[in-house]
Structure 1
Amino acid sequence: MLQLAMKQALKPNIALSGARRSISVQTLLHGSPEAKKVGDIEILQHSRLVARGKYVHGFEVHRVKPDSIDEYKAATEKYYAGIKDDARLHVKLTGSWETVVGDQDTFVHILEYENYAGYDKTVELIKNSEHAKSYKALLPYVNSRSTQLTQEFAFFPTSPPHAQGGIFELRSYQLKPGTLLEWENTWRKGIEARRKFVAPVGAWFSQVGRLHQVHHIWQYPSLDARKEMREKAWQIDGWAETVSKTAQLAKVMDSFILLPLPYSPLK
């Protein structure tokens, strides 16, 4: 499902009304000007209320050729470790992972930019550097790619680099349009209760790419430890209500188990 969900990050969502009226090609492709204006205002208002606003996090998902995994890993280490260590760039590498439960041969890289200005500057600097050559060198091993720009939730900044070991779980939700604020409010209350056992290492919502998406990543010593911690969470007052309410606000929910790559700052 990760392949499907992240492929959708760059695809437009086209909804056709059953009303009997003339619909232009422009409207089909981009939506009516009125609806687009209302939607953009709603997204902006909700984003201002729930976003930390300090950084922009880029999700880069690569679907790799099965017979080229080793070559891909070597090429990506050169590229991502290279930009991580380049002080001229306005970006840090949050983490790089391989999916082990979910869509196979899929890799997730999360980059932390110094807001949108930092993203723009970094893209321009990379274009005219050795990093561009390193990126082109990994492309022959990739079947497809997708990107998405996200913001952190204000109540939960992304964890700094650490090496605790174990596994990571990426959970992705496609929310019903207009429900981000309600989802954030409900989930935040539940997380406060669940912190007794485990807290996510990061939580984000999409701003560019597939909209109305939420992602959060958890770290556990093992799958068995994950099972135990999740069972304990159900015994906490408020968590069952959180799960019930947030599930009603989501259209699609996915869970993937990831392992960090050797150069990942989060591992």
Structure 2
Amino acid sequence: MASYSDDLILAGKLADAADSITTARFRARDLKVSSKPDRTPVTDADTAVEDAVREVLAAERPDDSVAGEERGGTAWESGRAWVLDPIDGTKNFLRGGPVWATLIALVEDGRPVVGMVSAPLLGRRWWAAAGEGAWMSDPAGERRISVSAVSALSDAYLSTTDLGSWTEYHSREAYLGLVDACWESRAFGDFWHHCLVAEGAIDLAAEPIVNPWDVAPMQILLTEAGGRFSDLSGAERFDGGSALSSNGHLHDEALGYLRR
């Protein structure tokens, strides 16, 4: 198996560069905000992060392609491509909430092989590389992580991002059926609940609508942590438009509810 150690080190360098910008612009009085065509917000911090990361990649990996939420690009089906979300959780960032992160993934021939998630206001970072396990750091230190051993939905902890999105993009009834089958549900949302599944704090995270850059690092993080990641059809891909993260034991049964 190929080693991605150098790429993982680079991903950490990219996250450091992103964190220096986002933390400086968080709650800034002169933060500039606009809207994209889908009416989601974008700040000058989003664009500054992506531009800074692209600059480093151009110097360090000039032969790799780059696809980002703010500057575009979709060429990840073949070869090597870095997929970027400069600030996942922009609405939280705008409101002064701490739950947002920079997401970085290296995708090789359509499959993520390196993932990095950095949430500086939470004091947490998660990362993984193919064959090298899944890891996180927090104020307690750095440690390898793995998914939970929960094997029954009746004991499972489930999260989504926004209940309203199930009405608009999939089926509110299907999601509520899964909620009823589980022990407990919350809406940790965005990047955070996928990372919580990877570290075993919760068991399932489901989203009816995602962009590729929202979940590219999650696929490798979940699989290296011993879990599963797919879209809601069950296809193990980050660009299917939806997402289900699980500890693996519950994946097929959860899909059964969400496919209804």
Query: Under TM normalisation by the shorter chain, which class is it?
Result: 0.3 to 0.5
Which of 1 and 2 has higher RCO (CA within 8 Å, sep 6+)? 1
**Larger of the two Rg values belongs to structure:** 1
* TM-score normalised to structure 2 length: 0.34
* TM-score normalised to structure 1 length: 0.33
